[in-house]
Structure 1
Amino acid sequence: MHVIPEWLELICLAFCIGVIACRLWFFPPAIQDKYSYQENFVSRMWTLFCYGLAVLIAGSVAELLSRTAEMSGQPFPAFFQALPTVLFRTHYGKVWLIRIAALLLLALSKTAVKYRDKPAFLLLMLLLGLIVSMTASASGHASDAGDFSLPEIMDWFHLLGASLWGGGLMVLSIFILPDLTGGKNPPPALIAVVASRFSAIAGFAVAIVAATALYNAWIYVGGINALLKAPYGRVVLTKIILFFILINLGAFNRYVSVPLLQEQAGVSLERRGIFTRIALRFFPRLQPVESGNQILIRFMRSVRVEALLIVGVLLCAALLRHEIPARHLSHLGHIGGADQPMQHHNPSDM
């Protein structure tokens, strides 16, 4: 009941951050001007961005009502009397007010069409998106350690990395690549530039996700026994498997597909990095002979698969937000290894 709405909100948050990152970095207006490309997808992208914001706002309101009902112990509609108390006298209520304010400002900023593609305005929108993601960490398991604690910050960075990476993949697979390749003569230089820019951003995001994932596993799982036996641990294990597949697909694109797309666009061999040169030695048959169509098709398919896997990773994240961490179960004696040292968490001020 709670996981599906949470999952949809995480998908929408990732997509919205991906749209902003797209216009800021890997498909900014300056790229369009340089290659004289008249985009057909940008307006559709911003329209879906608005739908994503609507889902986030509706989900936030629904979660507020659900939390109020749980805290008050009152049935519908009696729990409405407790709303002012929850909003203004609880930790969750204060976090919720920050979240809804950031979402409404994002929705309002969408109406400023004249400034929508200005870098400073996009940075402001990104800041609001970061605040929304911060409130997700400030109202989950990570908030048990206190506001702005290391667990909360690491959880926030983890969500940011996944949103930047996953949102970018969604935007690429739904809008940019289909539009760039939809004509009879796809622009190879523009495709290569967009792919390489996204690859660089994705590499940075993956590093953040990997580092914070290790920390979160240590904090909330604790050991191999809990990873295999606790429900929380099994979801984490599933998430690790999906992440491992994503890493392999992403590495193949970064060190094989993207450099080959660049070669089709006229980038010389000398500009390739050492890892790319090594990778291409292991995959000699993948180098283009006459055209780059096969390289481009493979890249598009890989990006779509990665986007679907990211959706699966976000489902695992939604499940984890509603499962008791494995360390807590171990402390309660529900799984083996209860004698292991525990990380202490203060209960959040709800």
Structure 2
Amino acid sequence: MPSETALDKEPERRGSPSSVGVLIVTAVVLAAVVAAALTALSAGASYALLGLPDPGPFTQYGLPVIRVITESGAVVSIGALLLAAFGIPAQPSRALAADGYAAVRTAGWAAGVWCVGAVLMVPFIAADATGRPVGDVLDFEVLFGLIDALEQAKAWLLTAVIAFVVVLACRVVLSWGWTVVTFGLSLLALFPVIATGHSASGGSHDIATNSLLFHLFGAALWVGGLVALVAHAARRGAHLPVVARRYSLIALVCWVAMALSGVINAFVRMTPEQLFTTDYGLLMLLKIAALVVLGVFGYFQRRSAVQHIEEKTGVAALLRLGAVEALVMFATIGIGVALGRTPPPDGVVRGVPDRTELLIGYPLPEPPTAFRLVFDWRFDLVYGTLALAMAALYLVGVRRLRKRGDSWPVGRTIAWLCGCATLLVATSSGIGKYAPAVFSVHMGQHMLLSMLAPVFLVLAGPTSLALRVFKPAGKEQPPGPREWLLAFVHSPVTRALTNPIVALVLFVGSFYALYFTGLFEAALTQHWAHLAMNAHFLLVGYIFYWPVIGVDPAPRQLPPMGKVGLVFASMPFHAFFGIALMMSSTVIGGDFYRGLDLPWITDLLADQRLGGGLAWASGEVPLVVVMLALLIQWSRADNRAARRIDRKADADGDAELNAYNEMLKRLADKDNQRSS
């Protein structure tokens, strides 16, 4: 075996940045060929099913090829930013190190490919949707008319804009904090395309879109992370063992997420027997087989390489295995693109969904009784999974503390589980099921997410628990979860959001901005907007209650009376919002609710007034909980102060009290001398 010196002097034998570039190009070409070849199997049937003329081979095969190139640019950009943000340590000044800067530059070039590809996707989507050659839609007036009519074309155009911002950011980013922001922006650029397409339309589109969300985000982090890891190993980058171990964990989580979400998305679109009788099913079987190969062989082989990464042979093994796995991964991308071009069979087998199912994803034949609101569940893949994951991670953290002999208050654990249960009930029970179609139920969900769940969550002290569970990364090691969490808590953004005025405006002002400006009505028809609204409700509630009753130290500490004042300052605005809804003579979102044509809702205005009453009355419950929590916290603070005084007195023989008594005695003696 060559000596360590020989290996250091001959990096080309083990890999180099240029060889990684060749690998990426080869993988993209392979994926494009796979996508085009598999698309050819069902292209004609797709146009015939939609009643469109054949647009010609250039449109048919150019669309999947361009999409493969675009998605390849996306995953490489996301993976490189993931490496720069969470794999490579920044310098003590928080400036990027050389390896981090190289990863960001790679991300910028890949984002450029992503941006150009997304722009090219627009005319191809327009041509494909109308069954015309691409040349026929390149006229600006025709193209802009089609963009206005096609949601997918709009989505790709928005993706191009966000990808262009990522390109610009990668050119100017020099610090770790802004690298994390750029990474988040790159993930956001995936969302417009996820929210459109056949997963976002027809029956059960809520489940299909949510599962696709997990699937594509998992794929981007998995594939992009692998490419970044191979490139880092080829550069002989610093802290390769840590980077490889972190990626191995990410890969396992992403594989599980992709496998489960892929199965869910598939069976929303087909029955089990259609796996073997339709083109869509056969492509799905091919993709499942590829995922199984990647999951089994890739994980165990890479694990072996990671264990020996300190040795030069381990680096070489990682490069070889990573190259093979990358090729299979990009071929899987090609299969996925072909799958997206193949019409699912459920439109023929399951019939045409009714109007309610088309708009919200599922039928609602019966009214929301108290029994149905409690027991008629439809699990929310995003927030239901989030609630269960949050509960599980918290319990794992508490268990780790107790295993090493540390204690954790039971009351905090109960509070966290109550918050997770509130989130689960609000989004996955009958409340979550009826909320998209009934304004009063939506308002009840809003109050649970913004005014009750955050109260429980902030009382649980999740940040304090995490800081006690996670160990410091150690000197000269890349920052870990503990350092990332501390950086977030002390970041300027967190300090700004927890400013009492900002928190109050966000908490109560968003009520008025959402419901009285037309924003709510515009969001009703979009599933992604419902996801965003629920996230907003939960986050602004947490931001408001954190500095008031939160167990975790907030970046801005409020005095006791300031906390009470902030709570009472929100009450008039909240009450007036509920009264304004009850007094309004205009139905908010009336066109959408009338379009649902639910026979058991005969008076939309009465339902809106009921929602306003819920908003007005529900403000009292959190107030009671908040005041009770404040009283308990103040009582405990007084007891802790008394115990500190007692301990100090025991240690110094009550020196402070003796000094005080001596001072009083001297004053009394002086008074006696003057009087005599």
TM-score (norm 1): 0.73
Distance verdict in 2 for CA 1:125–1:245, change over 3 Å: same
SS class of match (1:110) = helix
Report if the CA contact (8 A) 1:20-1:125 is conserved: yes
Q: What CA distance in whole angstroms lies between the structure 1 residues aligned with 2:338 and 2:137?
A: 28
| Superposition deviation, residue 73 in structure 1 | 6.8
Query: Residue 21 of structure 1 aligns with which residue?
Result: 82
Q: How does 1:308-323 map to 2 (within 5 A)?
A: 308-323=327-342
Q: What is the number of equivalent residue pairs in this alignment?
A: 293
Q: 1:52 aligns with which of 102, 110, 120?
A: 110
Residues 345 and 132 (structure 1 numbering): CA distance in 2 closer, same or farther, change over 3 Å?
Answer: farther
Percentage of matched positions with identical amino acids: 21
Instruction: Quote how far apart the aligned CAs of 1:306 are.
Output: 1.2
| CA distance, structure 1, for counterparts of residue 203 and residue 188 of structure 2 | 17
What is aligned with 2:126? 68
Report deviation, 1:97. Answer: 4.1
Deviates more, 1:198-207 or 1:246-255: 246-255
* Residue aligned with 1:58, SS: helix
What is the Cα deviation at residue 85 of structure 1?
A: 3.0
In 2, the alpha carbon distance for the partners of 1:314 and 1:321 equals 11
- Change in CA separation of 1:48 and 1:24 when aligned onto 2, cut-off 3 Å: closer
Q: CA-to-partner distance for each residue in 1:258-279, whole Å, 9 max, x for gaps?
A: 2343xx5xxxxxxxxxxxxxxx
Secondary structure of residue in 1 paired with 2:343: coil
- Residue 300 of structure 2 corresponds to which residue in structure 1? 252
Distance in 2 between residues matched to 1:252 and 1:70, nearest whole Å: 42
Per the TM alignment, residue 212 of structure 1 is displaced from its structure 2 partner at its CA by 0.8
Q: Match for residue 136 of structure 1?
A: 193
Return closer, same or farther for 1:124/1:46 CA change in 2, 3 Å cut-off: closer
1:48 deviates by: 3.9
**Residue of structure 2 equivalent to 1:277:** none
Partner SS, residue 309 of structure 1: helix
In structure 2, relative to structure 1, the CA distance for the partners of 1:249 and 1:71 (3 Å cut) is closer
1:118 maps to which residue? 176
1:101 maps to 161
Match of 1:346 in 2: 358
Tell me: CA distance 1:48–1:20, structure 2 relative to 1, closer, same or farther (3 Å): closer
The 8 Å contact of residues 227 and 326 in structure 1, kept in 2 or not, is answered as no
Considering only aligned residues, what root-mean-square deviation do their CA atoms show, in Å? 3.3
- Residue 180 of structure 1 aligns to a residue whose secondary structure is coil
Specify every segment of 5 or more residues in structure 2 that has no aligned partner in the other structure, as ranges: 1-60, 362-524, 526-676
Matches of residues 268-279 of structure 1 in structure 2 within 5 Å? none
Which whole-Å CA distance do the structure 1 matches of 2:220 and 2:328 have between them?
13
Q: Which whole-Å CA distance do the structure 2 matches of 1:88 and 1:217 have between them?
A: 30
AA aligned to 1:210 is A
> Residue 9 of structure 1 contacts residue 59 of structure 1 at CA under 8 Å; is this kept in 2?
yes
Q: Return the offset for 1:309.
A: 1.0
* Residue in structure 2 matched with residue 201 of structure 1 by the alignment: 250
3-state SS of 2:271 partner: coil
Question: Which residue is 1:176 aligned to?
Answer: 232
CA distance in 2 between counterparts of 1:210 and 1:86 reads: 35
Q: TM-score, normalised by structure 2?
A: 0.39
Alpha-carbon distance in 2 for matches of 1:103, 1:147: 30
Q: Which amino acid aligns with 2:358?
A: N
Partner of 1:5: 66
Deviations 1:207-244 (A, max 9, x none): 22122112112112321x32222111111111111111
C-alpha separation in 1, matches of 2:104 and 2:198? 32
1:254 deviates by 5.7
Q: Distance in 2 between matches of 1:146 and 1:93?
A: 22
Indicate conservation of the 8 Å contact 2:109/2:167, yes or no: no
The residue number in structure 1 matching 2:152 is 92
Question: Displacement of 1:307 after TM fit?
Answer: 1.1
CA distance in 2, matches of 1:160, 1:129: 11
Conservation of the 8 A alpha-carbon contact between 1:158 and 1:213: yes
Contact map agreement 1:68 1:79 (CA 8 A) in 2: no
1:302 aligns with 2:321: yes
2:569 alignment counterpart: none
Residues 80 and 107 in structure 2, CA contact (< 8 A), matched pair in contact too: yes
More divergent stretch after superposition (46-55 vs 71-80): 71-80
Name the structure, 1 or 2, with higher relative contact order (CA <8 Å, separation 6+): 1
Q: Which moved further from structure 2: 205-214 or 161-170? A: 205-214
